[in-house]
């Protein structure tokens, strides 16, 4: 209970800022992956290296998609709570 008494709740403005920053960060990551994908095969002659780079980028892109999905689910919960609170 001592820890909870010192706990300061985030304001809606702080939550909105985190949401905005998270969206910018996810978009930046997606752009970086796309750029890496376009440059990954430049100057590479080995099919094995190309295949490896493609697999790594596919893995990273899939991971980002899963993170984005989790973020969207958590944000939906937050929005639902705000709506429910306004109804009361």
In a domain, residue 61? The reply is yes
Chain segment 45-63, per-residue pLDDT in tens:
899 999 999 999 999 999 9
In a domain, residue 1? The reply is no
Question: Structural domain of residue 50, as residue ranges?
Answer: 12-85
In a domain, residue 2? The reply is no
Instruction: Give me the number of domains the chain comprises.
Output: 1
In a domain, residue 49? The reply is yes
Chain segment 58-78, per-residue pLDDT in tens:
999 999 999 999 999 999 998
b/e map of 56-75 (b: 16 or more CB within 10 Å)? eeeeebeeeeeebeeeeeee
Chain segment 5-49, per-residue pLDDT in tens:
556 688 888 888 999 999 999 999 999 999 999 998 888 789 999
In a domain, residue 34? The reply is yes
In a domain, residue 40? The reply is yes
């Amino acid at each position: 209970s001592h820890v909870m008494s010192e706990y300061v709740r985030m304001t809606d403005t702080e939550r909105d800022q985190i949401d905005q920053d998270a969206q910018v960060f996810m978009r930046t990551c997606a752009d970086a992956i796309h750029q890496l994908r376009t440059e990954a095969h430049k100057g590479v002659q080995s099919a094995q290296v190309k295949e490896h780079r493609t697999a790594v980028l596919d893995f990273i892109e899939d991971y980002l998609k899963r993170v984005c999905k989790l973020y969207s689910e958590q944000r939906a919960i937050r929005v639902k709570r705000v709506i429910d609170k306004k109804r009361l």
